[in-house]
């Protein structure tokens, strides 16, 4: 029953340390297969207990990536979409929390009546089932197991892929282990011992890797490959090198140069069709031609961990490449922005206020938006950044002095941003929504938005209906829209279904736009994204 269709599975595990770039390696490999004409799928298994990363701080776990169908997922899914150009879904990210929750629900329903519910076989069977669903009947399914071999948490997942590999047979399954080869500067040596240990650990739970992908600072030579092969029971030609790269988008080329895809095709008995890495070599060429810089200030709150704004960073870089520019991002902690120092933003070519939650650093963001508006500096407000624009304009131009979001001040008399449930009550009586179920109350996923023809947004998108992804609770308060009538602030995009304000812009400004959705999730290295492309273009134009 497990062997649905003809899908073959590639499982990717990691060893020695985390953050080796397993997601990027998986995505790069999947990209090679997609470009060779295979139907591919990607899936991330995360061993933590949260149902999804939606409730985790970005400082802990990096950005929460939102899929078109509204799943809050691991940021690796962003890499999958950007590298492979396919859409991820709810099924593409499976956490231990999800697995256990499914099993416990079944147990309560009586599905296992009579038996003791155990990790093996009940949890492992559930994991296998979710892997098959995630594979979506593709030709080749790439399944990345989060965490590092040796973690207590990953065990049920590793046991599942071990069982599954056996059921599938060696032609239909393949195990890749990503490890680290540390370089000891004093003795100028690359060390293989941690890799030996990591594979030993993997083999002790019954998984013999077919391929080792070795992260190191430099390309690893024949002698090191030979040594690793000897100690890990892997053949020498199955040891591949993943040395540090200047751009993550060079990795598909790097793997192709070593013919890693050919190795897999041979091992899995696939039809050997022609390889194609043209999009990546063209991309690389474009990057090499980017000479001039553009400086963007990112006024955020999670500025200590770049991963918190992963898709945003990527979208800015993509837009840079499209415009033949290098983008320098200056991360500025919004709490550090004060009236007395705001002028330092004058050095920036563009100002971006990203999404965020909670009221820390809000006033600094409002100051930044005001500065951008008054000084004609291109401004891009995303989600919270759009709400900031509305608050700023309401306070400083419309003269609604106490304008605020009820997220930051529940008692404000000018709730220009509020929960829909709050502003539906026209008598000013606030309905406090139940916040006990924090994970499940957001507007999530892609929704249709209609754009006014005579607007900056239309100029960027060149169409009047778009589809963008959301992740927020608060909205521009419809009851306050009338106050902006006749001003320079226009709402140029509205949600097709409920007529909610989706895009705000300011007339008579070089480039000022805020959107309630997250365009960064759909930016691609090869196409960029209309709004980011336009923002970077305008930022550069303002500079010269």
| Active site residue ranges | 383, 518, 520
Both tokens assigned to 312: 């945003």
To ligand GLN, the closest distance from the beta carbon of 438 in angstroms equals 11
Q: Which is nearer to ligand GLN, 199 or 353 (CB)?
A: 353
473 makes contact with ligand GLN (CB under 6 A):
yes
In this chain, which residue has its C-beta nearest to ligand GLN?
Answer: 355
Distance separating alpha carbons of residues 314 and 298, to the nearest angstrom = 13
472 makes contact with ligand GLN (CB under 6 A):
yes
To ligand GLN, the closest distance from the beta carbon of 74 in angstroms equals 17
To ligand GLN, the closest distance from the beta carbon of 213 in angstroms equals 34
Q: Which is nearer to ligand GLN, 471 or 509 (CB)?
A: 471
Q: Which residue of 383, 416, 513, 536 would you call a contact of ligand GLN, by CB under 6 A? A: 383
Q: Which is nearer to ligand GLN, 93 or 387 (CB)?
A: 387
Return the number of other C-beta atoms located less than 10 Å from residue 50's C-beta.
16
To ligand GLN, the closest distance from the beta carbon of 474 in angstroms equals 3
Contact 519, 536 (CB under 8 A): no
To ligand GLN, the closest distance from the beta carbon of 516 in angstroms equals 8
Beta strands 183-184 and 325-333 are unpaired
Q: Which stretch, 94-102, 299-307, 471-479, 535-543, contacts ligand GLN (CB under 6 A)? A: 471-479
Q: Which is nearer to ligand GLN, 64 or 242 (CB)?
A: 64
With H, G, I as helix, E, B as strand and everything else as coil, classify residue 320: helix
Site string for ligand GLN, 474-513 (x = CB under 6 A): x---------------------------------------
How far CA 411 is from CA of 404, 405, 429, in Å, comes to: 9, 9, 11
Q: Strand (E) positions, 166-306? A: 173-180, 183-184, 189-190, 211-216, 239-243, 292-300
Query: Nearest Cα to 443, choosing from 114, 70, 193, 168?
Result: 70
To ligand GLN, the closest distance from the beta carbon of 66 in angstroms equals 9
Distance separating alpha carbons of residues 427 and 416, to the nearest angstrom = 15
Q: Which residue of 384, 446, 466, 504 would you call a contact of ligand GLN, by CB under 6 A? A: 384
Q: Which is nearer to ligand GLN, 68 or 295 (CB)?
A: 68
Both tokens assigned to 446: 């892609």
Return the number of other C-beta atoms located less than 10 Å from residue 245's C-beta.
14
Site string for ligand GLN, 196-235 (x = CB under 6 A): ----------------------------------------
Q: 416: alpha, beta or left, given left = phi > 0 and alpha = psi -120 to 50?
A: alpha
Q: Which is nearer to ligand GLN, 5 or 358 (CB)?
A: 358
Both tokens assigned to 209: 């890797």
Whether omega before 456 lies within 30 degrees of 0, making that bond cis, reads: no
Site string for ligand GLN, 425-464 (x = CB under 6 A): ----------------------------------------
Query: Nearest Cα to 178, choosing from 6, 22, 356?
Result: 22
Size of residue set near ligand GLN by CB under 6 A? 10
To ligand GLN, the closest distance from the beta carbon of 496 in angstroms equals 19
Q: Which is nearer to ligand GLN, 27 or 384 (CB)?
A: 384
Distance separating alpha carbons of residues 337 and 182, to the nearest angstrom = 40
Distance separating alpha carbons of residues 178 and 15, to the nearest angstrom = 6
471 makes contact with ligand GLN (CB under 6 A):
yes
Q: Which is nearer to ligand GLN, 214 or 384 (CB)?
A: 384
To ligand GLN, the closest distance from the beta carbon of 355 in angstroms equals 3
Contact 215, 183 (CB under 8 A): no
Q: Which is nearer to ligand GLN, 125 or 306 (CB)?
A: 306
To ligand GLN, the closest distance from the beta carbon of 386 in angstroms equals 8
How far CA 35 is from CA of 40, 261, 490, in Å, comes to: 10, 11, 43
Mutual orientation of helices 310-322 and 76-84 as an angle, nearest 10°? 20
With H, G, I as helix, E, B as strand and everything else as coil, classify residue 370: helix
Partners of 148 in the beta sheet?
A: none
**Where in 332-361 is the site for ligand GLN (CB under 6 A)?**
355-357
Contact 502, 516 (CB under 8 A): yes
Side-chain half-sphere CA neighbours of 198 within 13 A: 26
Q: What is the contact surface with ligand GLN in residues (CB under 6 A)?
A: 355-357, 383-384, 407, 471-474
């Amino acid at each position: 029953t497990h062997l649905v269709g003809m899908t073959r599975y590639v499982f990717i595990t990691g060893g020695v340390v985390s953050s080796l770039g397993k997601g990027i390696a998986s995505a790069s490999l999947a990209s090679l297969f997609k470009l060779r004409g295979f139907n591919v799928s990607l899936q991330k298994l995360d061993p933590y207990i949260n149902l999804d990363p939606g409730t985790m701080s970005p400082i802990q776990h990096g950005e929460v990536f939102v899929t078109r169908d509204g799943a809050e997922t691991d940021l690796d899914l962003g890499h999958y979409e950007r590298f492979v150009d396919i859409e991820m879904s709810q099924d593409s990210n499976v956490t231990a929390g999800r697995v256990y929750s499914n099993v416990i629900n079944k147990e309560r329903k009586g599905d296992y009546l009579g038996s003791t519910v155990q990790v093996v076989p009940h949890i492992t069977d559930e994991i296998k089932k979710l892997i098959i669903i995630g594979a979506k009947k593709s030709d080749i399914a790439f399944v990345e197991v989060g965490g590092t071999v040796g973690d207590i948490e990953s065990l049920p997942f590793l046991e599942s892929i071990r069982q599954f590999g056996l059921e599938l047979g060696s032609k239909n399954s393949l195990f890749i282990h990503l490890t680290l080869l540390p370089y000891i500067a004093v003795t100028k040596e690359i060390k293989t011992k941690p890799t030996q240990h990591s594979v030993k650990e993997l083999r002790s739970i019954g998984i013999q890797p077919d391929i080792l992908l070795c992260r190191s600072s430099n390309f690893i030579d024949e002698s090191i490959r030979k040594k690793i092969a000897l100690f890990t029971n892997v053949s020498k030609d199955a040891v591949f090198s993943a040395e540090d790269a200047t751009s993550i988008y060079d990795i598909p080329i790097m793997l192709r140069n070593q013919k890693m895809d050919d190795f897999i095709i041979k091992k899995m008995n696939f039809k050997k069709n022609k390889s194609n890495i043209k999009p990546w070599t063209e991309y690389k060429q474009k990057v090499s031609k980017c000479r001039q810089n553009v400086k963007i200030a990112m006024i955020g709150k999670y500025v200590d961990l770049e991963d918190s704004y992963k898709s945003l960073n990527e979208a800015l870089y993509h837009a840079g490449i499209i415009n033949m520019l290098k983008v320098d991002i200056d991360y500025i902690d919004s709490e550090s922005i004060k009236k007395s120092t705001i002028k330092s933003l004058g050095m920036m070519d563009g100002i971006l206020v990203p999404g965020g939650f909670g009221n820390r650093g809000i006033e600094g963001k409002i100051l930044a938006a005001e500065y951008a508006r008054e000084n004609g500096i291109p401004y891009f407000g995303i989600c919270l950044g759009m709400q900031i624009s509305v608050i700023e304009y309401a306070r400083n131009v419309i003269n609604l002095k106490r304008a605020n979001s009820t997220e930051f001040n529940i008692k404000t008399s000018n709730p220009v941003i509020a929960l829909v449930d709050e502003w539906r009550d026209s008598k000013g009586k606030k309905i406090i929504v139940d916040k006990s179920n924090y994970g499940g109350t957001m507007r999530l996923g892609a929704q249709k938005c209609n754009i006014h023809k005579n607007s900056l947004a239309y100029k960027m998108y060149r169409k009047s209906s778009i589809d963008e992804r959301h992740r927020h609770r608060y909205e521009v308060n419809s009851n306050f829209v009338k106050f902006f009538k006749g001003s320079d602030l226009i709402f140029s995009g509205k949600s097709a279904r409920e007529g909610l304000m989706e895009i705000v812009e300011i007339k008579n400004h070089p480039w000022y736009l805020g959107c309630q959705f997250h365009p960064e999730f759909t930016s691609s290295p090869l196409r960029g994204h209309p709004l980011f492309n336009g923002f970077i273009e305008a930022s550069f134009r303002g500079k010269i």
